[in-house]
Amino acid sequence: MLTRLSCDEKSVGWVVSLEKSCFGVAAWTEASVVAEFANTFSEFWAYIIEDEAVGYVGFRIVCGELQISNVAVLPQFRRRGIATQLVNAAVLRGKETGCSGAELEVNVSNVAARALYEKCGFTVAGVRKNFYSDGEYDTKDAYTMIRSL
């Protein structure tokens, strides 16, 4: 079940836990998650199974554009369409609020995430050199991916 999260202890805990499980050293800190919840442009949506978040999408709606910041699904729940539902929920929310386009960054070596975003209608628009500071991939470069809404 998809649900919009609010800035409460349970929601922040879910996002922090998912960040650590999915991104390791590159995970957002609890302070970063709380700050993002406090940003009036930001939203977090989670996929809930048996009262536990197994995935989430974080995004901002700014100046008529949807900016997806993070998509995370616990490893044991991947390949079930959850990430697709999360990205599509963010896209739908962007459409509902009048956004004309969406953008995100993804590590050029993250083949699975790139395939997900392409499946959701995104295309590569450019490369950001040294975009990432830490992570599991051999490169720090990111593709910027976009789509119309």
Res. 78: pLDDT tops 90 = yes
pLDDT tens for residues 94-149? 999 999 999 999 999 999 999 999 999 999 999 999 888 766 777 889 999 999 99
The one-letter amino acid code at 28 reads: W
- In this structure, which long-range contacts are made by residues 9-14, counting pairs with CB atoms below 8 Å and at least 24 apart in sequence? 11/37, 11/44, 11/46, 11/53, 12/37, 14/46, 14/52, 14/53, 14/56
Lowest mean pLDDT among 11-15, 61-65, 110-114, 136-140: 136-140
pTM of structure = 0.93
Question: What domains lie within the chain, and their CATH numbers?
Answer: 2-148 (3.40.630.30)
Q: What is the pLDDT of residue 107?
A: 92
The greatest distance separating any two alpha carbons of the chain, rounded to the nearest whole angstrom, comes to: 41
pLDDT tens for residues 30-56? 999 999 999 999 999 999 999 999 999
Residue 124 CA to residue 126 CA, distance in Å, equals 6
Sign of the torsion formed by the C-alpha atoms of 32, 103, 124 and 18: positive
Torsion angle (degrees, nearest 10) of CA 59, 83, 15, 44: 30
Closest CA to 67 of 30, 28, 31, 106: 106
